[in-house]
Amino acid sequence: MTRHLLKAEIHCHIEGAAPPVLAAKQADKYGVDTTGFLRDGAYVWNDFSEFLVCYDRVAALFRTDADYALLTESYLTELAGANTIYSEIIVSPDHGDRIGLGADAYLSGICEGIRRAGEKTGIEARIIVTGERHFGPDSVIAAAEYAARSQNPLVTGFNMAGEERMGRVADYARAFDIARDAGLGLTIHAGEVCGPFSVIDALDLVRPSRLGHGVRAVEDPELVARLRDLGTVLEVCPGSNVALNVYPDFHHHPLRRLHKEGVRVCLNSDDPPFFHTSLEREYEIASSVMGFSDAEINAMTRTAIEAAFVDEATRQRLL
Residue 210 in the binding site for ligand ADE (CB under 6 A): no
d(CA 189, CA 199): 9
* Upper half-sphere CA count for residue 305 (Cβ side, 13 Å): 21
Please answer whether residues 187 and 128 qualify as being in contact, where contact means their C-beta atoms are separated by less than 8 angstroms: yes
DSSP alpha helices (H): ranges in 169-236? 173-181, 196-205, 221-230
Residue 15 in the binding site for Zn ion (CB under 5 A): no
Residue from 162, 191, 196, 238 in contact with ligand ADE (CB under 6 A): 162
How does strand 42-43 pair with strand 38-39? antiparallel
Residue from 88, 192, 201, 280 in contact with ligand ADE (CB under 6 A): 192
Residue 282 in the binding site for Zn ion (CB under 5 A): no
Please answer whether residues 18 and 27 qualify as being in contact, where contact means their C-beta atoms are separated by less than 8 angstroms: no
Nearer to Zn ion, 109 or 272 (CB): 272
Instruction: Respond yes or no: is residue 192 known to be catalytic.
Output: yes
Binding to ligand ADE in span 52-71, by CB under 6 A: 55
Please indicate if the annotation marks 253 as binding a ligand.
Answer: no
Nearer to ligand ADE, 161 or 234 (CB): 161
Residue 13 in the binding site for ligand ADE (CB under 6 A): yes
Please indicate if the annotation marks 251 as binding a ligand.
Answer: no
Residue 191 in the binding site for ligand ADE (CB under 6 A): no
126 binds, among ligand ADE, Zn ion, none (CB under 5 to 8 A by kind): none
Coil, helix or strand for 158? strand
Spatial neighbors of 164 by CB under 8 A, at least 6 apart, are: 133, 189, 190, 192, 193, 194, 198
> Is 158 exposed, middle or buried, given 0-12, 13-18 or 19+ CB atoms closer than 10 A?
buried
Please indicate if the annotation marks 189 as binding a ligand.
Answer: yes
Nearer to ligand ADE, 45 or 55 (CB): 55
d(CA 123, CA 114): 8
Residue 2 in the binding site for ligand ADE (CB under 6 A): no
Min dist CB 33 to Zn ion, Å, is 27
The β-bridge partners of 126 are: 88
Q: Which among 22, 17, 128 is positioned nearest to 76, based on CA atoms?
A: 17
Please answer whether residues 38 and 53 qualify as being in contact, where contact means their C-beta atoms are separated by less than 8 angstroms: no
259 binds, among Zn ion, ligand ADE, none (CB under 5 to 8 A by kind): none
Q: Which of 192, 235, 280, 282 is catalytic?
A: 192
Sequence length of the chain is 319
240 binds, among Zn ion, ligand ADE, none (CB under 5 to 8 A by kind): ligand ADE
Binding to ligand ADE in span 246-305, by CB under 6 A: 270-271
Residue from 270, 286, 301, 307 in contact with Zn ion (CB under 5 A): 270
Please indicate if the annotation marks 311 as binding a ligand.
Answer: no
Please indicate if the annotation marks 134 as binding a ligand.
Answer: no
- For residue 166, the Cα-to-chain-centroid distance in whole angstroms is 19
Min dist CB 225 to ligand ADE, Å, is 25
Min dist CB 283 to ligand ADE, Å, is 19
> Is 36 exposed, middle or buried, given 0-12, 13-18 or 19+ CB atoms closer than 10 A?
exposed
Residue 16 in the binding site for ligand ADE (CB under 6 A): yes
Can you say which residues are annotated as belonging to the binding site for substrate? 271
Can you say which residues are annotated as belonging to the binding site? 11, 13, 189, 270-271
- Which residues bind to ligand ADE, rule: CB under 6 A? 13, 16, 55, 161-162, 189, 192, 240, 270-271
Residues annotated as catalytic (active site), given as ranges: 192
